Amino acid sequence: MSDIRTETMTVNMGPQHPSTHGVLNLVLQLDGENIVSAEPTIGFLHTGIEKTAEQKKWQQVIPLVERMDYLGAQSNSLAYCLSVERLLGIESQIPDRVVYIRVLIAELQRLASHLVWLGTHGMEIGAISVMMYCFREREQLLNLNEMLAGFRMFPSYIRIGGLREDLPRGFHAAVKEFLDKFPGKLEEYHKLLTKNQVWILRTKGVGYLSKEDTMAMGLAGPMARAVGIPYDVRKTFPYLKYQTFDFIVPTHTDGDVYARYLVKMEEMRQSVSICRQALERITPTGVYDCGDYRFVPPPKDRVYTEMEALIQHFLLYSQGFNVPKGECYVPVEGPRGEHGFYIVSDGTNRPLRVKARAPSYVACQALPKMINGGLIADVIAVIGSTDVVMGDVDR
């Protein structure tokens, strides 16, 4: 038998493959079913957002950055606004109500993002019904976004210095209804997957990454928590008064696809708890920005009746505002891990540099480490567990 000639085969997986999360291309070297080496090719979705942002005024960048990680849109705008606010020095002027609304939005966004992850991840390895269930719940979250800002995917509701407008009437009741229903749905997903023998066989022991490799590859987020590194930006470097919220950081030690699944499922439960706490602290009406009219537009009734307010409104929308010279990076815990914007200002009304710390980008880099030596069927399970969003990778 030893004289049988074998050779490896090169297979292009993607960029048009439905299971590669958009336009990821993996060049796989196969020896039969086993993967000898894998090389991710990215850049198919590169739209030059960082270059475009340099031409825009500070507040015009928000809709742009929301389109980077398009499944966790408001995590982008939150991170960007926090960085700009820190550089402006108005962080302490943000009222508590705004802070808690932002927390609520960030956690709802995490739920929406995790639901897409679970749905597509399940579908890719054969559990089609999970996708239907998850998108059913995500639809309700998108409806909440629509209620909030009239836009379902990219609401641009979080602004520099506050929020776009006050919460709409009926928002509390709508969120409460969702939060009451959701834990039951989460149980449904658990029933469908967690003890499902097929699911366990497809995910347990697959795509293992050691603790050292995880840290060396810069994976900070659910991937790190699945291998036993309890690092969560919300706990370690608190922002938005997360230290006043009661929640735990779920961790696991196996470091495989199943562990990542369990970590994210528990994160959803914690997010619901944080949402409940935040909702209790938010009054139905009240302040929704820092009230500093150098950075936020004056209320419309004043714009229509007062000369100064009209001038301020006009200045803000025609010239924007200047941000002091300097640089800033304030990370947040996005759905995919540490997520932040490094911004540089030269003291003018436009950013000199906007750079996203994209968790999907580093996760993509780590793919070969998890794939090599495994089976080709497991590639899809691994990609699903890393939860890469190509908009975030290519930017």
Partner 1 sequence: MPDSQIDTLVAEALRIAAPDARIEPATAVDMPTAYVDRDHLVEVCRLLRDAPALQFALLADVTAADFFPAEPRFEVVYHFACLGSAYVTVPGASPAPARRFRLKVRISGADASVPTVTGIYPTANWLERELYDLMGLRFEGHPDLRRILMAEDWVGHPLRKDYPVQIRKDSASWEPIQLSAEEFAENVRATRARAHKAAEKR
Residues of this chain that interact with partner 1 (CB under 8 A) are 42-43, 46, 48, 50-52, 55, 83, 86-87, 89, 211, 215-218, 220, 229-231, 236-237, 326-331, 338, 340, 342, 344, 346, 352-353, 355, 357, 361-362, 364-365, 394-395
Question: What's the count of helices (H) and strands (E) in the chain, helices before strands?
Answer: 17, 9
Angle among Cα 98, 102, 108 to the nearest 5 degrees reads 145
Selection from 261, 253, 147 nearest residue 200 by Cα: 261
Q: Minimum distance between the CB of residue 320 and partner 1, rounded to whole angstroms?
A: 18
Of 274, 357, 270, 304, which is closest to residue 75 (Cα–Cα)?
A: 357
Q: How far is the CB of 213 from partner 1 (least distance, A)?
A: 8
Count of residues for the chain? Answer: 395
- Going by C-beta distance under 8 Å and a sequence separation of 6 or more, which residues neighbour residue 337? 219, 220, 221, 222, 223, 224, 359, 363
Separation of alpha carbons 270 and 107, rounded Å:
9
Q: How far is the CB of 251 from partner 1 (least distance, A)?
A: 9
- Identity of the residue, 42 or 131, whose beta carbon is nearer to partner 1 in the bound complex: 42
| Residues whose CB falls within 8 Å of the CB of residue 116, separated by 6 or more in sequence, listed in order | 71, 134, 135, 138
Q: Name which of 308 and 346 has its Cβ closer to partner 1.
A: 346
Q: Supply the minimum distance, in Å, between the C-beta of residue 170 and partner 1.
A: 38
216 or 248: CB nearest partner 1: 216
Shortest separation between residue 113's beta carbon and partner 1, angstroms: 20
**Residue ranges in the chain assigned as alpha helix (H):** 49-53, 61-66, 73-88, 96-124, 128-149, 171-193, 197-203, 211-216, 222-225, 233-236, 257-281, 300-305, 307-318, 359-365, 367-371, 376-386, 390-394
By C-beta, is 91 or 166 nearer to partner 1?
91
Q: Which is nearer to partner 1, 143 or 253 (CB)?
A: 253
Query: Least distance in Å: CB of 365 to partner 1?
Result: 4
Nearer to partner 1, 225 or 264 (CB): 225
For partner 1, give the closer residue by CB, 175 or 363: 363
Residue 72 or 359: the one with the smaller Cβ distance to partner 1 is: 359
Residue 29: helix, strand or coil by DSSP?
A: strand
**At closest approach, how far in Å is the CB of 125 from partner 1?**
27
Q: How far is the CB of 197 from partner 1 (least distance, A)?
A: 34
User: How many other β-carbons are positioned within 10 Å of the β-carbon of residue 227?
Assistant: 24
Is the link from the previous residue into 250 a cis peptide, with omega within 30 of 0?
A: no
